[in-house]
Chain A
């Protein structure tokens, strides 16, 4: 071993000691994301909707269970900002509730299904052989099942499942059918990652498997998972709306955007606000997530197609890390 120590190295050493490289990296990701204006706009819309669903109750003095007998089926007015239903319930209160249910379903289904697919996919890739073949068979069998029928059976049945609130039941069923595609992606991605030279290098250094998984595989699959999280939220929100719309998803007394839209279809010409308001909210919700997707992909992928953009960050990168 050569033991060349000189003053310059000492100084550099001191500099390295001051650095927290990890913070540097998340800052880069943040900056790359913030550079994409559409994505930032999407983030703001999403956050606004989220806050609305949590604190929107303060915007109206009514709640979703109280009937206003003086205002039945009224268009928007100072009393009821978004009008009332034909039953005399304040639409604003319903929308706040429905948005909360939809976001809740989206976040839980999106988040948990990403976790399931990551674990399932990694397990398949890691063990390979018989384990892989069996798990793949199960996965494909699940893909084959028409999810909509299972949703319908589960939410319409009068059996034991009936005891759960309908939103929770929908979450469970959606979760059951939402993770297979990503799991398959995670599987093929981790398989190709395990063939990368840097993973081999770590292996040849004797780095233990779980450490390799944690340090090399997880961060590299991470960007896929983050993207899939937003896509999963969109998918779950859309599925909830679609199912509730034809009457097999969320059931009253629970309220969701899909339920509100579905209920309003009968009287679009007489009570148009009841149809268009929840529909607009749904569009804002799914649209904001779609807007964020592109920015997230750029921010997380070191080899994304917008290399030009990534390159322009280099001077800043240097500043951040030096």
Chain B
């Protein structure tokens, strides 16, 4: 991309807005890093104009250069980075400024919110100290009282209760969501004109994500700042952004308004990305769009289209010369700003079907699909399982201050061929539930029945082994789940050797497994670090399948993977379930994935199931207020829907398990409870609602006032 204006750019300038008005204007930004493997060209020609008060969404997967772009704008890249091009703030060039000169702008004109709130605040200073520091840097004459008053205002603005007292608190006394609020308070302290948010909600739970997005929204309204929202999640920006820039391999590959991008994508990558994300709001009965392969190595020179290797529409022309980002030829009702870097963008008309183009496999059908649920055998059954931990306090002196009921009387079953998912915020007990199942032993509170054998009789090695063989696990982090010193062959051989299989049979089985999960069999002698994340997860799945289990326990199986890779793994899981007649027990925080893959779902809150049933029943007609809030918090990659949708924003974090009230656990945060007259509230506070279904009801739920009216304060619509 050159600095000379292309015809498209002139059109854009003449049409919508002149770059002179732009508060932030980036031209031909290039960033190169020296690494041991050569020069990595991380950002390759990024252009954008950010208009005052508008929101630009930069969407891309890891390694696409989106974060490096934002860091380059902020001047926060290491000195060794080679940056060229132009970054202008209100017409003033920022690139090439010294660290000192740049400091006048940083935090004052342009501010930033980072991804990981847990590590982004200095642990040894109070929150107030850190906010006041931001004020002091740019307002040295401001009085101490004025700064303190401003800090209190800021904390109040981002929704931190009793802000005056909290000024003196240290970061470790805040939850992740609260810390991200503090980060936002620091960022908007000096009324910046530009606010860059780099994956601000990725590390947070959905309910907290909704809160933080809401705070960002308020912050933008209060300050009138233009926002750059960097994310991998197409849902998060759908409702917020005015414009979108899709990045791939360090380069913008498609830009336009939200509508252009979501409803009329003209670059196969964007199209694939949109198809790769499952939807939480509709029952998809087709496979996800898989994008095969991995992004190119940016240490090597790019000769053709960087997406060519993964593109189903690739032709020879794509391999010669990288396509420019040019205006998409005018289609009726389309804005002039829509540009795509694809020589085939014409072929992708409004009704292009990503499934067809990317050859999405048909939704696989299991032999169990036709059999009624009650007629299938139970592969796993939990009967009133409980796990209570003593709660200790103090870092040096540990004293018991109570009991955490991590899992408190859980009962459910899984039948052959079905996928049951457990969902809930972190801390709700879903991971503990998995551990209770995987680490079954006779002394547990409650019964875990695996393949018809109860944990109560698992006293000898032989029984335990039969139970273990029925059930295997796939872990969240594909890297941590594989011993770095084992080759893939050794990884896969481990469970087979343990069964005492002969060597020849092991080899044969390993070759089968490699093919089964879509890996090249001749890669068995490689080490895990020679594979990409998606491939490692496939190895993890192959290991779990090695001993032919009936049930596979999936702990957040795709949350560590990029969107495009995630789709392939989900499709694989779908296929394996159908072909091998497997049952899954999945824990996931991404409700879209849950909806796509599961047959049944159980919503957990503070160690208890609050609602359970068939996934479509629960998702289409949630009865429990918590389920309703959870579902409404999930952003959907559909701008029109997202802008008009009602959202329930729960107040506060998951309460400390110690404060668990006598009646309904959820009452403290319940939006229905808040709207109830005091007389009815009494019932919620004194009686514990049982998990039961209504007459003719499809699902079980634990609430006295299902479908109740939602308190107006907790309901948000952005129109």
Contacts and interface: CB of A to CB of B under 8 A. Distances in A.
Direct contact of A and B (CB under 8 A): yes
Interface of A: 1-5, 8-9, 12-13, 15-17, 19, 21, 24-25, 196-198, 200-202, 204-207, 211, 215-216, 219-220, 302-303, 307-309, 311-312, 314, 317-318, 321-322
Given A16-B525, A200-B438, A312-B36, 11 more contacts: A1-B548, A12-B511, A12-B522, A16-B524, A21-B525, A197-B476, A204-B471, A205-B468, A216-B483, A308-B36, A311-B37
B516 interface: yes
Contacts of B358: none
Interface stretch (B249-257, B486-494, B683-691): B486-494
B410 to A, nearest CB: 19
Given A308-B36, A318-B526, A321-B526, A13 B508 contact: yes
A308 B37 contact: yes
A8 B521 contact: yes
B480 interface: yes
A204 B438 contact: yes
Contacts of B530: 314, 317-318
Interface in B476-515: 476-477, 480-487, 489-490, 494-495, 498, 507-508, 510-512, 515
B166 to A, nearest CB: 33
Contact of B507 (A16, A25, A311): A16
A2 B468 contact: no
A12 B468 contact: no
A126 to B, nearest CB: 16
Contacts of B510: 16
Contacts of A318: 526, 530
Contact of B527 (A201, A202, A219, A317): A317
Nearest to A193: B483
B76 interface: no
Size bracket, chain B contacts: 35 or more
Contacts of A198: 480-483, 486
A302 B522 contact: no
B654 interface: no
B647 interface: no
Contacts of B521: 8-9, 12
A302 B529 contact: yes
Nearest to A10: B511
A196 B482 CA distance: 9
A239 to B, nearest CB: 33
B368 interface: no
Contacts of A200: 438, 473, 475
Residue from A4, A21, A198 with most neighbouring chain B CB atoms (10 Å): A198
A216 B481 CA distance: 12
A5 B508 contact: yes
A17 B529 CA distance: 23
A309 B36 contact: yes
Contact of A15 (B484, B487, B515, B522): B522
B547 interface: yes
A222 to B, nearest CB: 9
Contacts of B527: 302, 317
Interface of B: 35-37, 438, 464-465, 468-469, 471-473, 475-477, 480-487, 489-490, 494-495, 498, 507-508, 510-512, 515-516, 521-522, 524-527, 529-530, 540, 543, 547-548, 579-580
A244 B644 CA distance: 84
Contacts of A196: 480
A311 B36 contact: yes
Contacts of A17: 507
A7 to B, nearest CB: 11
A197 B35 contact: no
A201 B475 contact: yes
Nearest to A222: B485
A19 B486 CA distance: 14
A94 B371 CA distance: 89
B524 A12 contact: yes
Contacts of B483: 198, 216, 220
B36 A302 contact: no
28 contacts: A3-B512, A5-B512, A8-B521, A9-B515, A12-B511, A13-B507, A16-B489, A16-B510, A17-B507, A21-B487, A21-B489, A21-B525, A196-B480, A201-B481, A201-B540, A202-B494, A204-B471, A205-B472, A216-B483, A302-B484, A303-B484, A308-B36, A308-B37, A309-B36, A314-B530, A321-B487, A321-B525, A322-B525
B490 A21 contact: yes
Nearest to B516: A2
Contacts of B540: 201
B516 A201 contact: no
A133 to B, nearest CB: 13
Contacts of B524: 12, 16
B469 A206 contact: yes
A25 B511 contact: no
A308 B299 CA distance: 13
Contact of A13 (B473, B482, B511): B511
Nearest to B491: A198
A211 B490 CA distance: 14
B489 A204 contact: no
Given A19-B525, A204-B438, A1 B468 contact: no
A18 to B, nearest CB: 10
Contacts of B465: 206
A206 B498 contact: yes
Nearest to B515: A4
A9 B522 CA distance: 8
Nearest to A9: B511
Contacts of A216: 483
Contacts of B486: 198
Contacts of B580: 1-2
A24 B527 CA distance: 11
Given A19-B525, A201-B473, A207 B494 contact: yes
A66 B96 CA distance: 77
A311 B476 CA distance: 25
